[in-house]
Structures are given as structure tokens and as C-alpha cells.
Amino acid sequence: MAQALPKLFTFEEFIEWLPENTLKRYELHDGIIVEMPQPSGKHEKVTGFLAGEITVEY
């Protein structure tokens, strides 16, 4: 059985492809678009803390 190779994206193509106003997060790894899970637990707390600190400094 033959398997097709995935299309590799450049950063510019990724930015054009990236959907707006979505709750899903995506990253580009070695030319492949990867859907990332939402942070949970300690990661979510750290993200919230950092967002608050950046907002206060801004």
C-alpha cells in the first residue's frame, strides 16, 4: 500500500491557511501543521498568570 507524503507548508502558507476566530490552536513543525491541545492544569494556571502580568505591564 502506498502512502502519500504530507504537503510541507512554508511559514507564509501557514499564516494564510490559519483560520481566524477559532478555539483550536495550531503550530507549524518542520513544515507540517499540527493541532495543539488547550493547556490544562498547571500549564493553564501559568498561562493565565503570565497573561495577567503582561496585561498589567502593558
> 17 and 9 in contact (C-beta within 8 Å)?
yes
Within a domain: 22: yes
* Domains of the chain: total: 1
Within a domain: 34: yes
CB contact set of 25 (below 8 Å; sequence gap of 6+): 35, 36, 37, 38
26-57 pLDDT tens trace: 999 999 999 998 878 898 899 899 999 999 99
pLDDT number for residue 33: 94
Position 1 pLDDT exceeds 70: no
Within a domain: 49: yes
pTM of this prediction exceeds 0.85: no
